């Protein structure tokens, strides 16, 4: 019986096709130095998750794809009694892919949307008071999030990071959502 074929990872010859912001993030983390998977995931959790969370299995799957495409080289190292670990190193092709993805990412724009937009479509399916109460809870959640101080992660080890810009953008999007919710609740209350 034939074995089903696995999807072929995008090649670097195909430029940025098939790669997304998750690959850009992983390549960017590797720009300054080789790292093992734990270091990469720790960096994402401590410094980047506040603007773009990525689950560990996703990171490892993308790193495997990047290795298959020749963007990263992998070797195994062992320190003392610790289990062997895979160390990822950016290749020249990976550096080129990083720069192409970075330029594409900065040029592009996305239409903001959220799962909460679906609920708005069907808002009239709830009784008026329940709909307003639900939106008030959403607003309360945003208010609590805005009051939580966003510590700007230290970028001493990675001096080329501009997390401040990403955090500022996320904050402003939340502020716009809060303003919109306040106006919408007031509008619904006046109906």
Q: Domains of the chain by range and CATH? A: 12-107 (1.10.10.10), 116-190 (no CATH)
pLDDT tens readout for residues 106-146: 999 877 778 888 999 999 999 999 999 999 999 998 888 77
What does residue 89 show for φ and ψ, rounded to 5 degrees?
-130, 135
CA distance 122 to 25: 36
What does residue 3 show for φ and ψ, rounded to 5 degrees?
-85, 130
Distance of CA 161 to the CA centre of its chain: 15
Distance of CA 96 to the CA centre of its chain: 21
Question: pLDDT class for 155, splitting at 50, 70, 90?
Answer: very low
Question: pLDDT class for 170, splitting at 50, 70, 90?
Answer: confident
CA distance 4 to 150: 47
Taking the whole predicted model, whether its pTM rises above 0.85 is answered as no
Q: What is the pLDDT of residue 68?
A: 96
Helix locations, the chain, DSSP H: 21-29, 37-43, 56-68, 92-107, 116-121, 128-147, 163-190
3-state secondary structure of 110: coil
How buried is 158 (Cβ within 10 angstroms: 0-12 exposed, 13-18 middle, 19+ buried)? middle
CA distance 32 to 95: 10
Lowest mean pLDDT among 80-94, 113-127, 142-156, 172-186: 142-156
Cα Rg, the chain, nearest whole Å: 22
Contacts of residue 50, defined as CB under 8 A and 6 or more positions apart, other chains included, come to: 150, 153, 163, 167, 170
3-state secondary structure of 20: coil
CA distance 57 to 39: 14
Q: What is the pLDDT of residue 55?
A: 94
Q: 108: which 2 tokens?
A: 């592009």
């Amino acid at each position: 019986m034939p074995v089903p074929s696995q999807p072929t990872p995008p090649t670097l010859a195909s430029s940025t096709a098939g790669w997304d912001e998750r690959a850009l993030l992983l390549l960017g983390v590797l720009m300054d130095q080789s790292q093992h998977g734990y270091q990469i995931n720790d960096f994402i959790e401590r410094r980047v998750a506040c603007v773009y969370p990525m689950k560990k299995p996703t990171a490892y799957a993308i790193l495997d794809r990047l290795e298959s495409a020749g963007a990263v080289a992998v070797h195994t190292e062992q320190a003392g009694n610790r289990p062997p670990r895979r160390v990822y190193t950016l290749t020249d092709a990976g550096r080129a892919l990083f720069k192409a993805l970075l330029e594409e990412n900065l040029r592009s724009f996305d239409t903001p949307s959220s799962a909460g937009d679906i609920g708005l479509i069907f808002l009239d399916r709830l009784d008026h008071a329940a709909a307003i109460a639900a939106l008030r809870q959403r607003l309360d959640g945003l208010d609590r999030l805005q009051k939580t101080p966003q510590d700007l992660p230290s970028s001493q080890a990675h001096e080329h990071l501009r997390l401040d810009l990403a955090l500022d953008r996320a904050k402003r999007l939340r502020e716009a959502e809060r303003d919109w919710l306040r106006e919408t609740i007031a509008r619904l209350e006046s109906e």
